[in-house]
A and B are shown apart, each in its own frame.
Chain A
Amino acid sequence: MAQTDTITAPEAISPMREAWGQFLRNRPAVFGLILLTVIIGFVLYGRYIFGGDPYQIVWGPLTAPGEREGILLGTDFLGRDILTNLLKGGAPTLTVGVSAALLTVVIGIAVGATAGYFGGWIDDLLMRLTEFFQVLPALLFAMVLVTLFSPTLFTIAFAIGIVSWPPTARLTRAEFLRIRELEYVTAARSIGATNGRIIWRVILPNALPPLIVSAALTVGVAILFEAGLSFLGLGDPNSVSWGLMIGQNRNYLLEAWWPVAIPGIAIFLTVFAVSLVGDGLNDAFNPKLRSR
């Protein structure tokens, strides 16, 4: 029996909204997003609740968490409040993480898009450059940059960005190589679109989903990187950061675990949340998994 009476076209949803819907159905990803929001909230507004000067000595050194009322997470080797430092130290870590990731994505997309779109000798040249930066041991190169030029938040973000872009460039190039052969690009070219327009308005929006995922994961990498540099004492000397807290208290590790363990947990939770979100975005943008 033919049913011809009610056939309604499915409502058109934009791919981004569809991906968002998919993301919301992914429980670990939503958990990651909530965790991340809580962490950012604490870092931005926590000082209004647990305010105070991070450099101020509040009680005897290495007071255990809960040992004294009002010092929730204990004190460090100088007797400074760990919770206050934790809230203060999150800001440089997150700022450097996000700005280094932004820089990574900008360089990566610029190099990858140019190489993938133009091909030929430009591609060869840019890919050799990419391989060159992949050969440099990232941490060591960043150490050299930070030592030669003074360790400000800007230098550190720059150093991390300049060593981390190759994977993003490779990914962008691969996407551009694939998309530039598709019909709609040929169509755009046939109506006289310029190269710049094709790269920006035609190919890039379609290459965006995997790049967004990679950008999210890069934030995690950059946060770990910043933590490593500050742990070595190469961070900005004018600001508290989670890595620095670990580095400063490690000599007292055997007497007191908490000044080392707690900032580490903060870094871990942040990167963990970021990577859950990244994995969630990956699944959401991956059409193969959508039919679940």
Chain B
Amino acid sequence: MSLRYILQRLFYGFLLMIGVVVLNFFLIHAAPGDAAEVIAGEMGGITEEMMAQIRARYGLDQPILVQLGLYLSQIMRGDLGISYHFNQPVTALIAQRAGPTILLALTAQILAMVIGVVLGVLASRKPQGPLSGFVSIFSTVGYAAPVFWTGLMLVILFSVVVPIFPVEGMVSARFRGNGLEYALNVAHHLVLPASTLAILFLAQYARLSRASMIEVLGADYVRTARAKGLGEASVTFRHALRNAVLPIMTVAGIQFGNLISGALLVETVFNWPGMGRLAFDSVLRRDYPTLLGVLFFASAVVVIANLITDLSYRLADPRIRTGGR
């Protein structure tokens, strides 16, 4: 994998982000009402002085292209504007909330991939067996249930029937402790939200890895491996799975945007203090700078995740690694 390729991808990711900014800009201007009002949010308590400040800051009396330039350069400097509702810079708000969302999304992703691949591999060994049947039924069911509803049903189950996991927040109220104790407390709170989100994607990974394993297990090199007298475990994991994992990685990259969308809904169910809550609160308060800031940041996360997937895909598959584009 050449440095040139990495730079090319980075540049491309950068262009995508510029695209998101331009889109944000035009959305503000396309919305009904004065742009300054849109930025201030449709809430009371905004003084005429603050409005004048906003107009000056965003150059709202300038031609539209100049305004776009101002907006772009502002965001390049890491300034996503000010939330007039929270009375804080949007970047500070996002910095507080990004960690919990990424923790939730990554845990769910890893959980879904690991369990999904294990189920899929086991099912692929007997394509007509009961486990295969279970995987295909479960994948249709897991996909059809709205994720927020699954979460609410888990809340009932675990707060009324078997109260073993906390159903709200990220840390216990009045929790004092640090280090390991704190991490364990967070992990305990993470169980239900991460499982809810994982259920949504688990089934897809199980189905995909089953299909891709069945295909790979029929390949010549697997037959060769068997003919050499290798054990079943070695054939399955060292020869077949390594190749079957490629399509799973591709899907994991494509799914990342959906993962973030799912995380937003799950956060509102479990009161998880992440960007989803922030987005939801800013929708209620019509706090556009925050909402657009979250959109910008979440898109950046997806761009970075895609970049990592793309690069690791090339590392995992030597056929692409040397071939260039």
Q: Do A and B come from one complex?
A: yes
The proximity string for B residues 280-310 relative to A, scoring 1 for CB distances below 8 Å and 0 otherwise, is: 1001101010011011001100110010000
* Contact across chains for B152 and A272 when beta carbons are under 8 A apart: no
- With a cutoff of 8 Å between Cβ atoms, the chain A residues found around residue B294 in the complex are 140
B62 interface residue per 8 A CB criterion:
no
> In the docked arrangement, what's the CA distance between A272 and B147, Å?
14
Number of interface residues of B (CB under 8 A): 50
The residue from B141, B153, B159, B262 contacting A272, defined by CB atoms under 8 A apart? B141
* Contact across chains for A149 and B31 when beta carbons are under 8 A apart: yes
- With a cutoff of 8 Å between Cβ atoms, the chain B residues found around residue A264 in the complex are 145-146, 149, 152-153
Q: What would 21 A/B residue contacts be, using CB atoms closer than 8 Å?
A: A132-B16, A139-B262, A140-B279, A141-B295, A143-B279, A147-B283, A147-B286, A148-B28, A148-B38, A148-B288, A224-B146, A228-B148, A232-B265, A234-B283, A246-B148, A253-B152, A254-B159, A260-B149, A267-B149, A271-B146, A276-B140
- With a cutoff of 8 Å between Cβ atoms, the chain B residues found around residue A272 in the complex are 140-141, 144
* Contact across chains for B261 and A138 when beta carbons are under 8 A apart: yes
Determine how close the nearest CB of chain A comes to the CB of B277; give it in whole angstroms. 11
* Contact across chains for A231 and B148 when beta carbons are under 8 A apart: yes
The proximity string for B residues 259-271 relative to A, scoring 1 for CB distances below 8 Å and 0 otherwise, is: 0111011001100
The proximity string for A residues 104-143 relative to B, scoring 1 for CB distances below 8 Å and 0 otherwise, is: 0000000000000000000000000001101111111101
- With a cutoff of 8 Å between Cβ atoms, the chain B residues found around residue A135 in the complex are 16, 20, 257, 299, 302-303, 306
A275 and B144 in contact, given A135-B306, A254-B156 (Cβ under 8 angstroms) = yes
Number of interface residues of A (CB under 8 A): 41
Q: Across the interface, name the chain A residue whose C-beta is closest to B268.
A: A232
- With a cutoff of 8 Å between Cβ atoms, the chain A residues found around residue B152 in the complex are 246, 250, 253, 260, 264
CB under 8 Å from chain A, chain B span 22-60: 23, 27-28, 30-32, 38
A268 and B260 in contact, given A137-B302, A275-B140 (Cβ under 8 angstroms) = no
B254 interface residue per 8 A CB criterion:
yes
Tell me if A's interface is mostly helix, strand, loop or mixed: helix
A140 and B146 in contact, given A148-B27, A231-B265, A279-B140 (Cβ under 8 angstroms) = no
B99 interface residue per 8 A CB criterion:
no
A144 interface residue per 8 A CB criterion:
yes
B143 interface residue per 8 A CB criterion:
yes
8 shortest interchain CB distances as A-B pairs = A139-B261, A264-B149, A271-B144, A272-B144, A148-B31, A137-B260, A137-B298, A268-B145
A161 interface residue per 8 A CB criterion:
no
A92 interface residue per 8 A CB criterion:
no
> In the docked arrangement, what's the CA distance between A279 and B144, Å?
13
CB under 8 Å from chain B, chain A span 242-286: 243, 246, 250, 253-254, 257, 260-261, 264, 267-269, 271-272, 275-276, 279
> In the docked arrangement, what's the CA distance between A217 and B280, Å?
28
- With a cutoff of 8 Å between Cβ atoms, the chain A residues found around residue B298 in the complex are 137, 140
A220 interface residue per 8 A CB criterion:
yes
Determine how close the nearest CB of chain A comes to the CB of B302; give it in whole angstroms. 5
A102 interface residue per 8 A CB criterion:
no
- With a cutoff of 8 Å between Cβ atoms, the chain A residues found around residue B302 in the complex are 135-137
A96 interface residue per 8 A CB criterion:
no
- With a cutoff of 8 Å between Cβ atoms, the chain B residues found around residue A147 in the complex are 283, 286, 288, 291
* Contact across chains for A136 and B299 when beta carbons are under 8 A apart: yes
Number of A-B contacts (CB under 8 A): 127
CB under 8 Å from chain A, chain B span 151-192: 152-153, 155-156, 159-160
Tell me if B's interface is mostly helix, strand, loop or mixed: helix
B19 interface residue per 8 A CB criterion:
yes
The residue from B155, B261, B306 contacting A137, defined by CB atoms under 8 A apart? B261
> In the docked arrangement, what's the CA distance between A182 and B86, Å?
60
- With a cutoff of 8 Å between Cβ atoms, the chain B residues found around residue A94 in the complex are none
> In the docked arrangement, what's the CA distance between A227 and B262, Å?
13
* Contact across chains for B20 and A136 when beta carbons are under 8 A apart: yes
* Contact across chains for B144 and A220 when beta carbons are under 8 A apart: yes
- With a cutoff of 8 Å between Cβ atoms, the chain A residues found around residue B283 in the complex are 143, 147, 232, 234
* Contact across chains for A268 and B140 when beta carbons are under 8 A apart: no
> In the docked arrangement, what's the CA distance between A232 and B159, Å?
22
- With a cutoff of 8 Å between Cβ atoms, the chain B residues found around residue A134 in the complex are 254, 257
Determine how close the nearest CB of chain B comes to the CB of A32; give it in whole angstroms. 9
- With a cutoff of 8 Å between Cβ atoms, the chain B residues found around residue A231 in the complex are 146, 148, 265
Q: Across the interface, name the chain B residue whose C-beta is closest to A131.
A: B16
Q: Across the interface, name the chain A residue whose C-beta is closest to B259.
A: A137
- With a cutoff of 8 Å between Cβ atoms, the chain A residues found around residue B27 in the complex are 144-145, 148
- With a cutoff of 8 Å between Cβ atoms, the chain A residues found around residue B291 in the complex are 143-144, 147
Q: Across the interface, name the chain A residue whose C-beta is closest to B31.
A: A148
B258 interface residue per 8 A CB criterion:
yes
> In the docked arrangement, what's the CA distance between A225 and B260, Å?
14
CB under 8 Å from chain B, chain A span 144-184: 144-145, 147-149
> In the docked arrangement, what's the CA distance between A141 and B295, Å?
7
- With a cutoff of 8 Å between Cβ atoms, the chain A residues found around residue B141 in the complex are 272
* Contact across chains for A140 and B260 when beta carbons are under 8 A apart: yes
- With a cutoff of 8 Å between Cβ atoms, the chain B residues found around residue A145 in the complex are 27
* Contact across chains for B264 and A139 when beta carbons are under 8 A apart: yes
- With a cutoff of 8 Å between Cβ atoms, the chain B residues found around residue A227 in the complex are 146, 148-149
> In the docked arrangement, what's the CA distance between A232 and B280, Å?
8
